[in-house]
Structure 1
Amino acid sequence: MLPAGALPPPPGLTPATAAASRGPGRARPAWPTTESGEAAGRARDRPGSGRTVPRPRSGGSAHWQRTTPPPADQYTQQPAIALKEIGVRPAWRGTGSAPRIHDELLLTRDEPYVTLMVNKAAGDGKVHAVYRSWGYADIGQSQPSPTSPLLTVMIRATR
């Protein structure tokens, strides 16, 4: 029996879970993902559920080529992992689930750096502030497509 006010354990990570974590207006078809491998399995057993989409990046990738100013060689001369999305079901937001999923994912990676892109306007700047609180630093800007907003490229060490 759960204590009063406690949420039940989350269901397994499924396409429906991933769609629910995106929220209204963001239910787009999913691209091929790993649901953060072992980290996702461990997250299912904790008070939170979500999905991450890690993608390896090398120095010659479009990820780095679109970044201005060009990133420092220390980031592009070795592989980095690009974090595309962390989604947490609405009922588990504010519980610390997202940083746990993030940190557990990074424990499974060999790359020395993790990078992501964020729209500074998202959540009235709150999303950018969260990533900064997790140790990410701004290193440039990128516009992945002509119709996308200008995104801030952020990076941090995986450990």
Structure 2
Amino acid sequence: MTVDLQHHTALTPGARRALLEVYADVRAPLLHLPNYSLPAFAERLDRYAADPGFELVLGHRDGTVAGYAYGTSVDAADPYWRRMGEPLPPGFTDTPVLALREIGVRTPWRGTGTARRIHDSLLAARPEERVTLMVNPLAGEGRVQRLYESWGYREFNSQPATADSPRLAVMVRPTR
């Protein structure tokens, strides 16, 4: 299944609308949870869209958004690093890192390589040398984390659980 990929470095109203629609579909079983609700996601999305290095990739097929991925650049001063459960190795934040904030693919496109194509397209022209993401290690009975491992990610830290989120595994890999 081929999808057409569109890159956005600003969150236009049309891209925002499309992303919210596909997010609601992808995360439908979780929307009742506070951290996954559509308003909570929209608030995070708007905040991240204002951050340095914001980029969104939308994958389209036959007029339907099949999936998405977006991220931002994080440097040593970014609050992202304060969420880590363990101290970071010396020098780890000396250069900016791409934080993959969210990735999702609608059910008909799962297992087709669409998520990987969207992911790789997001990373293709990034200036950062590394990309990091957070994943619930229990999601899909561990299948989601294993998928990221098959893409070259390795777990290097964790984010402690909060009232709105379970403990998350923090993973990293080179962008290329």
**Structure 2-normalised TM-score?**
0.72
Q: Which residue of 2 aligns with 1:90?
A: 107
Q: Which residue is 1:16 aligned to?
A: 21
Q: CA deviation at 1:144?
A: 6.7
- Separation in 2 of the partners of 1:135 and 1:62? 25
Match of 1:103 in 2: 120
Runs of 4+ in 1 over 3 A off after TM superposition: 6-9, 33-37, 45-48, 144-147
Indicate yes or no: 2:49 matched with 1:44: no
Is residue 82–residue 116 contact of structure 1 (8 Å, CA) maintained in 2? Answer: yes
Higher Cα Rg, which structure: 1
Q: In the alignment, does 2:97 pair up with 1:80? A: yes
Unaligned residue ranges in structure 2 (runs of 5+): 5-13, 32-36
Report the CA distance shift for 1:124/1:110 in structure 2 as closer, same or farther (over 3 A).
same
Q: Which moved more, 1:128-137 or 1:24-33?
A: 24-33
Paired residues, what number? 149
1:59 aligned onto 2:91: no
After TM superposition, the structure 1 stretch with the greater mean CA deviation from structure 2, 105-114 or 71-80, is: 71-80
Greater fraction strand: 2
Q: TM-score normalised to the size of structure 1?
A: 0.79
Offset at residue 36 of structure 1 (A): 4.5
**Contact 1:57 / 1:63 at 8 angstroms: preserved in 2?**
yes
User: Aligned-pair RMSD on alpha carbons?
Assistant: 2.9
Three-state SS of the structure 2 residue aligned to 1:49 is strand
